[in-house]
Amino acid sequence: MKKKRVGKLIVYTAVLLLFVLGALIANNLLERENILDRISQLPDLEVKTLDEETFSTRDLNGENPALLIYFNTECIFCGQMFEEILTDGQLQQYVRLVFVSDEPPETVVEYRKKTGMDLTNEFVFLYDYDRQVRDFYGIRSVPATYLYTEKGELIRYYRGQVSVDELIGQLQDVRE
């Protein structure tokens, strides 16, 4: 008798666990869809520059597409992307590069000096002090890269490292 009860308990527990797991997966898919809807247009967010000046993301709409890269100075993959962007040099011809981090500005300034990114004024660096950019985009890992047209329409987003060639290819596909 006890074996039957234990067996039923195991079956009920397994069914319950499958139900909970299914609900979590469905919720995660719904959340991803909501985020994609939100980011399909370049959002209007107020963010601080490293000099504590207010920068509006709506200022990115204009003549060139915008590439928004959310990064962390200790991220190896972010560092490899930055190195490729600097050594290739081609990407700056196609897009306005915007780098966003929630690390303290002095950490990012030091990183810019170390990598040589402070030698050019072509890059915009933003300090996501209240993590509104990270939360809006649902960023859970870095680098997170978002490519927008000059009209602010999302072309593609990437989770993890992406090559300059891939980004340029995406831009060329949109222009054709």
Distance in angstroms (rounded) separating the CA atoms of residues 142 and 79 = 11
Per-residue model confidence (pLDDT) at position 37 = 80
CATH no., domain 43-175: 3.40.30.10
114 pLDDT more than 70: yes
Mean pLDDT computed over every residue of the chain:
86
pLDDT category, 22, cuts 50, 70, 90? low
Per-residue model confidence (pLDDT) at position 148 = 93
76 or 32, greater pLDDT: 76
Token pair for residue 143? 């680098």
Q: How many residues does the chain have?
A: 176
CB 170 within 8 A of CB 158: no
28 pLDDT more than 80: no
Distance in angstroms (rounded) separating the CA atoms of residues 60 and 46 = 12
Report phi then psi at 68, rounded to 5. Answer: -105, 120
Per-residue model confidence (pLDDT) at position 24 = 61
145 pLDDT more than 70: yes
Can you tell me whether residue 43 is helix, strand or coil? coil
Per-residue model confidence (pLDDT) at position 19 = 67
